[in-house]
Structure 1
């Protein structure tokens, strides 16, 4: 099993701190863990085994790409500078909105994504 099945990722290296690379902070990591615990091992759509949400400006990235079992979904409406200055509660709420938007996007765009979206919604109350 891969370490990550669902991951939030800033689209710019060191966006959340020098030396952090493409890592998120502990607030995001906790939310990722919550979502990952609710996800089934196999998503059962498009042979996807991992979902990565790119947070930040486009930087020549496409809105959505699938490569070697990894789904890359761009979420442009994210500002790392504002995120860093936010309280932990504000960060949690922002990330929850992003995750709901992404999961709704999957539901709207892929008929065969229903299994994994419903699985998460049934186990993570705030995803609804």
Structure 2
């Protein structure tokens, strides 16, 4: 069972970025570095320390869900949908989708897992890349 955060909270938004970063099972150091370069802490209104706490909680929640043989399903549609539903404010969805796009490009490669999660995020939230570009071009 995933830890509960208030809907649309900085923690709920941070956890979505963490889910995306960990989707391929590889947390690239460049992704962590890019959190600061992209001003993600300030944008989400969360401290670096609190972001790390959310990251640890997410990892603990994943390990609690492990199968008896120890395998962990990083991509689980129900979990992803449940987490995506914790951000329901349209402006915050647009913000998270934009930050997620910037983050996935940080390590210069977008893995199949990251792409699948990101595409699902956009579909579930009824967003397009044009929506993101329009919102942040102005």
Q: Report TM bin, short chain.
A: 0.3 to 0.5
> As a proportion of its length, which structure holds more helix?
2
Identify which of structures 1 and 2 has the higher relative contact order when contacts are C-alpha pairs closer than 8 Å and 6+ apart. 2
> As a proportion of its length, which structure holds more strand?
1
